[in-house]
Amino acid sequence: VRSVGIAGLGSYVPERIMANVDLEKIVDTSDAWIKERTGISHRHIAAENETTSDLAYRAAQDALKDAGISAEELDLIIVATCTPDMLFPATACILQEKLGVKGKPSFDLEAACSGFIYGLAVGSQFIASGAYEKVLVVGAETVSRVVNWQDRNTCVLFGDGAGAAVLQPVEKGRGILSFHLGGDGAGGDLLKVPAGAAAMPASAETVAQGLHYLHMSGNEVFKFAVRVMGDAALKSLEKAGLSKEEVCYVIPHQANMRIVDAAMRRLGLPMEKAYVNLDRYGNMSSASIPVALHEAYREEKLKNGDILVLVGFGAGLTWGSMVLKW
Ligand code: ACO
């Protein structure tokens, strides 16, 4: 089994910024409430003609450049998204076309906000086994397209964006040291977009009832998130044979500052070890972790040999964590 690591990172967020004060004009909310309950101050929202694959394309180009390779050299393209351009074709195929290459295996992976960690875990298997050399994993979302902009309980929480990583073989003992993935379908009702796919095709009725929008039981998701983040992080550390004291940075899913705070406390690590940027982006689902990882890298916070833990949770329910040696 070969060791696999990240050879390049990239990210992209739409230009348009929506601040909390802009939301005050749309729903009955306030900048103070949103900041206090979530930690978010603004988020980026895709332009009308901008799709998930467009964001994925910009992030992918950035990651390819960072890795110093062309799209032609990729053996596989994985896009983790729960807001694909269409039900099919896969956004990964649309991305391939935008990257100007042909013949590459390309597929989407749906694990909601845990999608990027799932994507890294899946993509790395092809390299570990020796089947492929270079795999592109993108987490890309336009969550703004599925939120109800009249529902203050949800519309204030999310943002759009994309992050990408190029995986390749690395020297033994570096890169991905371990991962832990989990799921619980019994919690599927806590967070879902009920209509618009095959179980409940879009109709005038589903639209009238708002069933094509994201529906969430915020408090339940909150409790689940706090519990699972700490536990998942500890499980992957245990698999890597490392103690939590050896962790340099935790890159958590960026849903809510209070969730990050509670999860870090559960983990028994100080908040300084968590990389947080949700104040500027909101929850970008599968894009949150790669955008945060890319930012930490760009800000030169990650040093050679540092131990990082990526950890996330999302609809499904799903969760995942991964230990990396930088
Ligand atoms: N502005 C003002 N008031 C609001 C807003 C708002 N934007 N949203 C809700 N409120 C009100 C509620 O109506 C409620 O009023 P009431 O007491 O009169 O009924 C009050 O504020 C308190 O509501 P709570 O739901 O108890 O607020 P809480 O502090 O729990 O925060 C939140 C809600 C932010 C949604 C929190 O529960 C949360 O972050 N949950 C996790 C969500 C999450 O992470 N989702 C993403 C999962 S990832 C994925 O896969 C997409």
Output the ligand 1 site: residues, CB below 6 A. 29, 33-34, 37-38, 112-113, 152-153, 156, 191, 216, 218-219, 221-222, 225, 255-256, 283, 285, 314-315
pLDDT tens for residues 272-301? 999 999 999 999 999 999 999 999 999 999
Closest atom, ligand 1, to C-alpha of 143: 51
Q: Apex CA 112: angle with CA 109 and CA 118, to 5°?
A: 50
Distance 18 CA to ligand 1 centre (A): 19
User: What confidence score (pLDDT) does residue 117 get?
Assistant: 98
Average of pLDDT values for 259-264?
95
The ipTM of this complex is 0.92
- The secondary structure of the chain, three-state, reads CCEEEEEEEEEECCCCEEEHHHHHCCCCCCHHHHHHHHCCCEEECCCCCCCHHHHHHHHHHHHHHHHCCCHHHCCEEEEECCCCCCCCCCHHHHHHHHHCCCCCCEEEECCHHHHHHHHHHHHHHHHHCCCCCCEEEEEEEEHHHCCCCCCHHHHCCECEEEEEEEEEEECCCCEEEEEEEEECHHHHHHEECCCCCCCCCCCHHHHHCCCCCCEECHHHHHHHHHHHHHHHHHHHHHHHCCCHHHCCEEEECCCCHHHHHHHHHHHCCCHHHECCCHHHHCECHHHHHHHHHHHHHHCCCCCCCCEEEEEEEECCCEEEEEEEEC
Q: What is the mean pLDDT of residues 125-133?
A: 98
Q: State the average pLDDT over residues 39-57.
A: 98
pLDDT per position as a tens digit, 171-222: 999 999 999 999 999 999 999 999 999 999 999 999 999 999 999 999 999 9
| 232 CA to centre of ligand 1 in angstroms | 24
Among 153, 226, 319, say which to mutate for ligand 1: greatest number of ligand atoms within 8 Å of CB.
Answer: 153
CA distance 80 to 287: 8
Q: Taking residues 245-269, what's their average pLDDT?
A: 96
Q: What is the pLDDT of residue 278?
A: 98
160 DSSP β-pair partners: 142
325 forms beta bridges with 175, 307
Nearest in space to 286 (alpha carbons), one of 164, 148, 201: 164
Distance (angstroms) between ligand 1 centre and the Cα of 32 equals 13
pLDDT at 236: 97
Active site positions, annotated: 113, 253, 283
Assess contact for 156 and 25: CB atoms under 8 A: no
Q: Give the separation between CA 3 and CA 1, rounded to whole angstroms.
A: 7
Under the banding of pLDDT at 50, 70 and 90, the label for residue 52 is: very high
Q: Which residues contact 211 (CB under 8 A, 6 or more apart)?
A: 194, 195, 196, 200
* Rounded CA separation 130/121 (Å): 15
Query: What pLDDT is stored for residue 304 in this prediction?
Result: 95
Q: How far apart are CA 114 and CA 41, in angstroms?
A: 23
Q: Which atom of ligand 1 is nearest to the CA of 253?
A: 48
Do 161 and 81 contact (CB within 8 A), yes or no?
Answer: no
**Using CB atoms within 10 A of its CB, is residue 109 exposed (0-12), middle (13-18) or buried (19+)?**
buried
Closest CA to 131 of 25, 4, 223, 229: 4
Protein residue whose Cα sits closest to atom 1 of ligand 1: 29
What are the backbone dihedrals phi and psi of residue 260, each rounded to the nearest 5 degrees, phi first? -60, -45
Predicted pLDDT at 157 = 98
Q: How far is the CA of 215 from the centre of ligand 1 (A)?
A: 12
Pocket probe mutation, ligand 1, options 116, 222, 319, max atoms within 8 Å of Cβ: 222
pLDDT of residue 87: 97
